Structures are given as structure tokens and as C-alpha cells.
Structure 1
Amino acid sequence: MTVVVALDQGTTNTKALAIDVSGRVVAKASAPVGITTPAAGSVEQDAEEIWTRSVDVLARCIDEAGASSVVGLAIANQRESVVAWDRSTGAPTGPVLSWQDSRTAEWCATLGDAQTVGLVQGRTGLPLDPMFSAPKMAWVLRDADPSTVVGTVDSWLLWNLTGSTEHVIEAGNASRTLLYRLDKLCWDDDLLALFGIRPSALPEPRRSHGPFGRTACEGLPRGLPVLAVLADSHAALRGHGGGTPGIVKATYGTGSSVMRGTGSDLEHRQGIATTLAWLDESPTYALEGNIRYSGSALEWTARMLGLPGAVALGELAAQVPHAGDVAFVPAFGGLGAPHWDPSAVGTITGLGARSTPAHVARAAFDAVAHQVADVVQAMVADTSHGRLRADGGATASRLLMQTQADVLGCQVDVAATEDMAAYGAARAAFSSQGVEIPPAPAGGLYVPRKDSSDRDRARTAWARAVARARY
């Protein structure tokens, strides 16, 4: 048996899956990862915890699969989050600034004249927004020693996996920093100057199949090659078989990523980012919309209602046929695509004397579905004849998936595995070795049950709620 062990380092969980050449998962391990919010707009993680949890799940998965069967590793990682460490000691110089962290919002606004916004978006495909890496990199490098280097989570993992020999970043992850030029596939000197980032602090961009080096760390077999690295949402697209124009996927995690592959074409849409999905021998691009709070919005609502989690929230929401007039906009750190409004605030509106906790719970599921619909409809003019591929932990909720189909007015195909990022990374790793494993199959499908007039009313009410959140 030949397997690739794929690490999926996410915002709140780290998983490892051993996947064979037929696409079958033969071993799996997981561990939670902590996240803190020490101040308004600040979202942090512990770099050492991310590393130790990653080693733990990799070691357990390799042991279960059998070390002799493992041909190499693959990595899918949370994007945009920033780690800084001392090059000489390898020790982190502070906390990981999460992709959800918005402490640099005011500073980004001071850079945001029309000419600068146009420069940034024209070269990187991204809006000038604190979600992306460059503002966080500038923050952690302020007054830093010359020995301090920075990277995204893939950079941090690769540095440690290879025994501090590789300070590199995968190209798709680099494209999420606001520093990487999409047409030339390299760091952009003008953007480095704009954000005040010294080139010597940055990792070297590499293709998605590397080379990324071999394992030389404690806790893992030595000499295993890292065969492929992909950003998590990009890996999920690859797991669905995306990349070619037409496939639209939504990943439902802590936040949500909606992506549509565009192949070799650099397409642009208002309110939607253009990104590098992966870089093999040639680039594959995609359109993407990022939603900051989706699964985490469900967890937040559950805590507010005194429930143990999203499953219990779904049971409560199912007690009512709809949310009534209640609308929840989870703009806790502003709104992402397609609005890109960091000043938006979280709101619950439409409460009345007859409103119940069940209506609020239902509104939380509506909020996730409407946010995804906002992005899909900004990408695709007519959704009624298409379909959405869905993956991620929240797809286990039948209520959410049916609501998504109703809100979009199209079929929703749910992947048979919720671990699509790891699966997509494994596909890339096998491909680098000349072996093609099939895209992940669908495990269920949902078709719209509401007519267009009901859908239009619901979408109009949601638009009014979003407008209130952006007052």
C-alpha cells in the first residue's frame, strides 16, 4: 500500500489523513487548536501549539498507516494568518495574528486612497483589507530585530518540518498576502515599499509541488519529502476537481471560502478577489469571496443561547419553519466579500414580541446561507441552472444545506468527505508523482424547495439587514 499523509492545519482544528492511490482514507488523527480574542479586533493563536499539534497528528497518522507505506507528506493550511520568528533560534517572537484579526483596519484605511487601492488590487487581485497578510506582517515587524522573519502558516510548518532549513512559502499562499503579483508570479517591490516590509524577512515563493525539502525534526520519521502544499480553500477546490472554469465550491469552516476556478485566465469581478489557486508547471487562477464568520457564527449563537454547540443550535432552529422577521448579520470583524466593509458591525434585527430563541437560531443558519449566496451571485449572474459543490464541517447540517439550496435557487452537492482540504492536498501530492486520484465524490444533494418569489423576498430582507449592519 502506498499513501500520502496530508496535514490540514485549520483555524480551530489540525487534522492528518493518510490517503491511498484510490483516494481511500486509511488513517486519520485530529487535535484542537486554541484561539483567543484579547482585545476588540484582535484574534490570536499560539505558533508553538500549531506546530506541536501538527507533529502530534502527523505522527499518529503515520504510525497507524505504517511508516513504510508513506511516500511523502502534503500540507493544506489556514491562509493569511501571520507568524514571526527569530531566524537564529526558531522561536516565535509573538502570537500568530489570525486571518480574522482586524487590528490593522485603521492603518489600512490611511493607505486606502483610490490610486493605492487600484495599485494593490490591480497587481494582487485582492482588496486592501486587514484580513490579508501584509498589514499583519508590517505590524509584527515594527521595531523587530533584523533576525526576525515572517511567513504564513505553511512557512512556519515547513521551517520546522525541515529542521529550520527552508524559509519558503507556497505560491497560492503568497498570493493571499497583498505582496504577490499575479501576472508575474513574484513579490512586488512597490508593494513591499508600500507596507514597509523588508524583502529579507519574507519567505521564498515556491511552486505548489515544491521543492519544499524533507522532514528533519523530532517526532517524525526523517527524510520524508513534502510533496505538495496548498492553501486550505485552494486545496478544497482541487479536491472537488476544480480549477477548470465552471466549478463553484463553498467551504464551510470557521469562515467560508467560495471559489470558482478560471483556469489560466485572470478574471475580475466587482467585490470578488482574484487569486492564484495553485502553481504547477503553469498557474491556475480562481475567483474567490471570503466570509469571515460562518461556522463560528453558529457557535457564537449557540453560546449566546446557552447551547452546547452548533448541533444543538440546529435542533432548536428546526422547531420553527422560518426566522420570522429576525435577521442576524455576523459582522464581528466587519464584512468580507462582496462588501469588504471593515466598519460593519454585528446586528440582530427584526425582533418582536413573538420572537423566540428558535427564531434567532434559525436566523443564524440563514445568515451563513445568505452570505454564501451574496458571493456566488457576485461571481455567477444566473445561479438557477448551476450547482454549488459544498464541503467542510458545517455541511453535516441538513438544515443549512437545504437553506443554501433554497436561498441560491440551485442544487447543492455535498462532498462525501468533510476533509476536502486534506484530500485536495493529497491529490496534488500524488499528481506530483505522476499519479492521478479521482476527485472526491458527492455524498448527498439538495434541491430548492422554495419558489422564486419566496427566495426574492428572503434576499431582499437580507439586503436590508446588511445595510443596517453597515450604517
Structure 2
Amino acid sequence: MNADLILVLDAGTTSTRAIAFSLEGAIIASAARPLTQGYPAPGQVEHDAGEIWRLSRDCLLEVADSVGAPRIAAIGITNQRETVVLWDKASGQPLCPAIVWQDRRTADVCAALKAEGHEPAVQATTGLLLDPYFSATKLRWAIDHWPEVAEAHAAGQLLAGTVESWLIWKLSAGTCHITDATNASRTLLMELATARWSDEMLDLFWVPAEILPEIVDCAGPLASTQLLGQRVPITGSAGDQHAASIGQACLAPGEIKATYGTGCFVLAHAGAAVPASTHRLLATLAFRLDGVNAYALEGSIFVAGAAVQWLRDGLGLIGSAAETEALARSVPDSGGVTFVPALAGLGAPHWSPGARGLITGLSGGTTKAHLARATLEAMGQQTADLTDALRADGVAVTALRVDGGMVANDWLCQDLADSLGVPVQRPAVIETTAMGAAMLAAVGAGLFADLATAAAAMVKPDRSFSPQATDDERSARRAAWARAVRLTLDA
């Protein structure tokens, strides 16, 4: 039997999945498991790292059993970024809950460092801003507050990493403690220009270098696993947003994608030079191949699909996310309602971890349809905030490539085009995060010469949504949104 499939492990925030791709980009089989979300205190979000591993393992085995393990040529991994896992080197067991990227428990630490004037140096070195979103302050907090972690560190047994690092450690039976450069670039600890751990940042955040993984490329012979009953190489790895950008074939400067999952993340490919933002965007890696860095500018929205989940689970207004499309179409507008979904603070370009959600314009005539429409409209307005910042940083925004579970909603895609004033392009396979990991793994396994060749074979378009709103309509909506955001920030 020919090894003609790439098996991808997509370890996300709300679920972990395994997907088998053909070399033509078709999904052959998949399996998914929901992850338990832990909220031990306001502003705190945790996962069980042991559960992440067990469910990821089960998904991989289920898909391999479905397609036949001998067909798996290589494994690619993509993951929720910034989330940190700390484990015991000897036992291979997690020592504490994983602290999730959405977690805000270190907001005061970041505020203090900012007040001390450290942010310019942090941004110049890492491309990032001081925010509890990133990994460094989470790592330090865990060492300081969980005795099991401190004891393991004192005994020389502590290892740490982001989620892909933890999964590769487990898949390789504890033989590989590595992290790919895209995930490392999200920790506040990596020097962006060199893709090496920064001694200056390690000292600033009091993170011991010896607990961190080795930084490696995004493709190549990274590790291997015997999980499937035979040796299978792990040849691709990237953080979810970087993988989605690759899966959208954003491989040249100026090509832009937005992924709408739990949050929304916009990446604009910036080329071979480290970009600098003066409008509160992040400089990050697009990917690293053969020791060469490609860079991107990124804007992060903390709450996207999570706002729809809140309508469903928090308020009970809908039974499923899919209902929002029909509800949005059932009313001519939002009835004057504007929803700023700052349920976990505001990300770029505001970077206000203390901001809280706000709904304005309620009246006796407001219905759940108006609230659903306002929730979807917030996606377009938050994205427009980011594309405005990209333009101010010199990026020509001529189109937006979109992916993620939310963009199965045609109404949302059209509203994005109307909000941004540019065409919105959706691929045939919206699982572009997994697609990008598959492309990396295929290149790393030598099945394609480079990412451009992989994209030509695997990435297929679906449809494009052209703007239909007038400039006046777009401006009026932007003004209403700006007023609501000011109220949110002032609250």
C-alpha cells in the first residue's frame, strides 16, 4: 500500500482533531473530540494537558484505523498558540493545568512591566506587545504559584512548552523536546530576527532557559512516532494562525488571511525583513524553512466564534451557531444594536485586557434576531479595525482570504466584504489550518519541492464575495462601532 496521505493533528482551543489529507488537498477522513474548558476564576482559562494528549491520541488512532496506517506518509501538527504546558521530564505527566491563551491572570504583571518602560524593548526584540495573551508571564506565574512546578524546577525535572511541544514530546515517547519557530515567536521570549531564545527576555520574565524546548524549522525531519504501530515521521509544525495563512496560500508579501474560530486572527505576509508596526499590530513569523525566516504582521481578535457560543450557552438565545445566519437575514438591520464582544478583553489594535463586553442601542423592540445580527456584524467591524491598522502600516489591503468554522455562513462573508470594502475570498476547504499543516508536512517529507508547489496542488478556491454596501453605509456603521468601542474602553 502506497503512503499517499498526510495525517494532521489540529489541537485547537475548543476541540482537538485529526484529519487525513490527500496530496490533492481532499479530506479523506477525520475525527474530533471536544476539549473541557476550565474557568477557575474570572479572567482565568485552563485546559487539562493530559486530556489534550489523550484525546489527540484517540483522534490520530481513529483516523489511522479508518484509512490504514500504512497510507500515512507523514504527520503535521498545528495548535492553539500561547497556551503553556508544564510537565515532569521523568514521568511525562503534566504538573498543573495548561494556561490558555485567553487567560488574563497576569494582566497586572504586564501592566507593571509596561509602566516600568519595558514595552519598547520587548516589541523591538520579539515583535510583540506586553499582554497576558502571550506565554512568558504565564510560565513565570506557574512557577511562582504552583508548588509542584517549583519543586520540579528545583529538582531539574521541569519541562515547558506550547501545545505542539507537549504533543511532540508525547508522540516521540519523550525523545524530542522541540518547538517550531512560529510557536516560539508567540512566547515573548524569542528574538524575532534570529529565531533564538533571547537572553534579555528570559531575564526580564524570569523564565529559566533550561525548561524550554529547542527552536526548529516548520518543516523537515522534526521527530517521529510509533503511535500508529510503525514509525511515522513528524515533518510539519506551525501555530494555528501561521498554518492557516499557509493553507490559504498567503506566501507572498501583501497576501492577507483571516481565520474565524474561537477568536479571529488576521495575518498579512510581510516578506523576508522583520516588519515594524506603529499601529499596535504584532510582528511575527509567517514560517521558517531551511533556516530562513518569512515574516508577517498580525492582528488578534480575542472573541469571534466565542461570541456566538456565548449567545448559545450563556444566554440560551440559539440552539446552534448555524441559526445565526437565518436570524441575521430575518431582519433588515440590527435595529440600532451594537455589540462589542470584549468577553476576554480587547486585542489589536486596542490591547485592553481589562475591557468588558458592551451592548448598546437596546430598545423594547430588540429581538434575538437583532442580537444575533449585531454579533455577526461585530466580526466585520473588528476585522475592519485591523485592516485599517494594516493600511496605516503601509499594507495595501485589496482582498481578504477567510477561513475557519464561522465562514461557512454566507451572510457573514458578505457582511465582511461590506464592512471592509474589499472582496472576501473563501476556499473550497475551510479547514485551512489543518491544510497548512498538511502542506508543511508534505514539503518536510519531500513530497513537494516547496510550499508554492504544494499550494498549487492542494489549495482550491470556492467563491468570492464582492462589497455591496455604499461608502456612506460603511462609514455610518464604522462610526457607530467606534462610539461603542470608546464606551467599552472608558467603562
The TM tier, using the shorter chain, reads: over 0.9
Q: Deviation digits for residues 268-324 of structure 1, max 9, x if unmatched?
A: 221110001211021111010111100011111233143212112332222211112
Amino acid at match of 1:27: A
The answer to whether structure 1 residue 441 and structure 2 residue 460 are counterparts is yes
Matched residue SS, 1:261:
strand
Matched residue SS, 1:36:
coil
Equivalent in the alignment of 1:247: 255
Equivalent in the alignment of 1:207: 217
Amino acid at match of 1:297: A
The answer to whether structure 1 residue 177 and structure 2 residue 187 are counterparts is yes
Amino acid at match of 1:247: E
Amino acid at match of 2:484: A
Given that residues 220 and 443 in structure 2 are in contact (C-alpha distance below 8 angstroms), is that contact kept between their aligned partners in structure 1? no
Given that residues 283 and 297 in structure 2 are in contact (C-alpha distance below 8 angstroms), is that contact kept between their aligned partners in structure 1? yes
Instruction: Kindly report the root-mean-square deviation, in angstroms, between the aligned alpha carbons of the 2 structures.
Output: 1.6
Q: Which of 148-157 and 56-65 deviates more?
A: 56-65
Q: Distance in 2 between matches of 1:53 and 1:31?
A: 6
**Equivalence map 1:219-258=2 (5 Å):** 220-258=228-266
Q: Distance in 2 between matches of 1:421 and 1:453?
A: 35
Matched residue SS, 2:259:
strand
Q: Which of 305-314 and 155-164 deviates more?
A: 305-314
Equivalent in the alignment of 1:277: 286
Equivalent in the alignment of 1:72: 74
**Equivalence map 1:177-196=2 (5 Å):** 177-196=187-206
Give the fraction of aligned pairs with identical amino acids, expressed as a percent: 40
Q: Deviation digits for residues 200-229 of structure 1, max 9, x if unmatched?
A: 111111111244221044xx2231110110
Given that residues 158 and 212 in structure 1 are in contact (C-alpha distance below 8 angstroms), is that contact kept between their aligned partners in structure 2? no
Q: Deviation digits for residues 320-358 of structure 1, max 9, x if unmatched?
A: 111122111111121001111112111111112322222
Amino acid at match of 2:74: G
Q: Distance in 1 between matches of 2:395 and 2:323?
A: 31
Given that residues 176 and 275 in structure 1 are in contact (C-alpha distance below 8 angstroms), is that contact kept between their aligned partners in structure 2? yes
Equivalent in the alignment of 1:317: 328
Matched residue SS, 2:112:
helix
Q: Deviation digits for residues 16-66 of structure 1, max 9, x if unmatched?
A: 121122222222222211212121000111111111111111111112222
Q: Distance in 2 between matches of 1:139 and 1:383?
A: 37
Q: Deviation digits for residues 398-420 of structure 1, max 9, x if unmatched?
A: 12111101100111011111211
Amino acid at match of 1:271: R
Match of 1:401 among 413, 435, 440: 413
Q: Distance in 2 between matches of 1:67 and 1:314?
A: 39
Matched residue SS, 1:463:
helix
Deviation at 1:114, TM superposition (A): 6.2
Amino acid at match of 1:451: T
Runs of 5+ unmatched residues, structure 2 = none
**TM-score (normalised: structure 1):** 0.96
Equivalent in the alignment of 1:360: 371
Equivalent in the alignment of 1:390: 402
Q: Distance in 1 between matches of 2:465 and 2:158?
A: 50
The answer to whether structure 1 residue 370 and structure 2 residue 394 are counterparts is no
Q: Distance in 2 between matches of 1:294 and 1:425?
A: 22
**TM-score (normalised: structure 2):** 0.93
Given that residues 159 and 166 in structure 1 are in contact (C-alpha distance below 8 angstroms), is that contact kept between their aligned partners in structure 2? yes
Equivalent in the alignment of 2:46: 44
Matched residue SS, 2:276:
coil
Deviation at 1:74, TM superposition (A): 0.5
Q: Distance in 2 between matches of 1:202 and 1:171?
A: 13
Q: Distance in 2 between matches of 1:243 and 1:447?
A: 23
Given that residues 259 and 266 in structure 2 are in contact (C-alpha distance below 8 angstroms), is that contact kept between their aligned partners in structure 1? yes
Matched residue SS, 1:112:
helix
Q: Which of 294-303 and 96-105 deviates more?
A: 294-303
Given that residues 334 and 341 in structure 1 are in contact (C-alpha distance below 8 angstroms), is that contact kept between their aligned partners in structure 2? yes
Q: Deviation digits for residues 105-144 of structure 1, max 9, x if unmatched?
A: 0111111136300011010000110001111111112251
Q: Which of 306-315 and 451-460 deviates more?
A: 306-315
Would you identify which runs of 4 or more consecutive aligned residues in structure 1 move more than 4 Å? Answer: 381-385
Equivalent in the alignment of 1:337: 348
Q: Distance in 1 between matches of 2:423 and 2:46?
A: 37
Equivalent in the alignment of 2:469: 450
Number of equivalences: 469
Match of 2:100 among 98, 101, 120: 98
Equivalent in the alignment of 2:310: 300
Deviation at 1:240, TM superposition (A): 1.2
**Equivalence map 1:116-155=2 (5 Å):** 116-142=118-144, 143=147, 144-145=150-151, 146=153, 147-155=157-165
Q: Distance in 1 between matches of 2:395 and 2:287?
A: 26
Q: Distance in 2 between matches of 1:182 and 1:384?
A: 24
Given that residues 170 and 210 in structure 1 are in contact (C-alpha distance below 8 angstroms), is that contact kept between their aligned partners in structure 2? no
CA shift in 2, pair 1:210/1:130, >3 Å: farther
Runs of 5+ unmatched residues, structure 1 = none
